[in-house]
Structure 1
Amino acid sequence: MTPSHSLQRLSAQPMTRENFQPYGQFITPSTDSKPYGNDDAQLDLSNGTPRFYIMRLQQRGRTFHTITRHQRCTQCLGSLEGKDWLIAVSPPSESNRPDLEQMKAFRIPGNGFIKLARGTWHAGPYFDHEAVDFYNLELSDTNEIDYFTHNFREIEGLTFEIL
């Protein structure tokens, strides 16, 4: 870090439905015969064509200086092969800046997935593994027209590390 940049550390919290609620939903396994309910992912993919794909990420580490949001849809992310992973989030806001006071990091266990609410700021997935495959549900054009990124390093002189 140069003198004009500082490193802030975020401790990854264990994931629960309750502590992730300001950012979206944490979804865990349920029985096949369970009727649809509030514990199921409450999706909003109505603004385009849904895209469900597997993305392979390699050597992500735990540091970041950008955070992104998608305002046209919800997004679901989960790892394959039961691998735990990390994400930093800040709740949806009207501002073009994430709320640093409400930014948190979470450790997502490999047997669940997250649904990010529309507009939730997110940095990640991050992990210590060599590579992790993730399934991703969003819109087919999310990465082209609904991808707003805030650069902490350029604007606030900040870089973050998830512990």
Structure 2
Amino acid sequence: MSTSQTVQQLQAQLVTPENFRRYGQVIFASTDGKAFDVEDAQLNLQNGTPRFYIMRLHRKGRSFHKITRHVQCTQCLGSLEGKDWLIAVCPPHNDVNEPALEEIAAFRIPGNCFIKLEVGTWHAGPYFDHEFVDFYNLELSNTNVVDHFTHDFLKSHQLKFEMA
């Protein structure tokens, strides 16, 4: 018995602080010496040792079928060298153990900002068309070991996503 797969297209919208608010924050450059305020990343890193590092990803493309969340910390991601990239997100409904399919959205992130994912925000990415992109990543040192919850839409819904 064969199972058919569906590919759902997600139209990526250019990220803004307003359209990304359900998922986290968008942080743009500010003047040196500006006082800390709500436009700065509101971080939650108290549940462990923060880890700030650069990760190199190769040829990620635009399609996915798994989405992940972290419930113990916020996560910040940004590309180096001004390269644009894509991410799919779903709001953090932390009382539910799977993402709400109808609430998944895709965003194009320009290379002049970074995003902070709210605690529990489901995310798939970063994705991109470049040969490789270096990303800075701020999370906890053990996030990918003890705080990495993944939902597989291929298994649950025979579904893949492609960002346009």
* CA distance, structure 1, for counterparts of residue 98 and residue 148 of structure 2: 14
What is the aligned residue count? 162
* Cα drift, residue 97 of structure 1: 1.1
Q: How many Å separate the matches in 2 of 1:161 and 1:114?
A: 21
8 Å contact from structure 2 (residues 74, 118) kept in 1: yes
Unaligned residue ranges in structure 1 (runs of 5+): none
Contact 2:14 2:109 in 1 (8 A): yes
Runs of 4+ in 1 over 4 A off after TM superposition: none
Q: Which amino acid aligns with 1:157?
A: Q
The percent identity for this pair of structures is 65
1: CA distance between counterparts of 2:74 and 2:36? Answer: 18
1:9, 1:78 → 2: CA distance? 24
Cα separation, 2, equivalents of 1:111 and 1:3: 42
Aligned partners of 2:3 and 2:158 also within 8 Å: no
SS of residue matched to 2:26: strand
Match of 1:48 in 2: 48
Counterpart residue identity of residue 161, structure 2:
F
Whichever residue aligns with residue 82 of structure 1, its letter is G
Q: Which residue in the other structure is 1:10 paired with?
A: 10
For residue 45 of structure 2, give the secondary structure of its aligned residue in structure 1: coil
Q: Find out whether 1:139 has 2:140 as its counterpart.
A: yes
- Give, in whole Å, the separation in 2 of the partners of 1:101 and 1:18: 19
Q: Residue 4 of structure 1: CA displacement?
A: 1.7
Aligned to 2:125: 124
What's the CA shift string for 1:24-62, capped at 9, x where partnerless?
Answer: 000000001211000000000000000000000000000
> For the residues of structure 2 that align with 1:16 and 1:142, how far apart are their CA atoms?
26
Listed as ranges, the matches of 1:54-73 within 5 Å are 54-73=54-73
SS state at 1:159 partner: strand
Q: Report the CA distance between 1:20 and its aligned residue.
A: 0.1
Instruction: Name the TM-score, length of structure 2 as normaliser.
Output: 0.97
- Corresponding position of 2:19: 19
Q: Structure 2: 5+ residue runs without aligned partners?
A: none
2:97 pairs with 1:107: no
TM-score by length of 1: 0.98
For 1:149 and 1:101, how far apart are their aligned partners in 2?
17
Name the residue aligned to 1:28.
28
Aligned equivalents of 2:63, 2:4: Cα separation in 1: 17
Question: Does the CA-based 8 Å contact 2:75-2:137 persist in structure 1?
Answer: yes
Distance 1:3 1:68 in 2: 24
- Matched position secondary structure for 2:102: helix
Once superposed, what is the RMSD of the aligned Cα atoms? 0.8
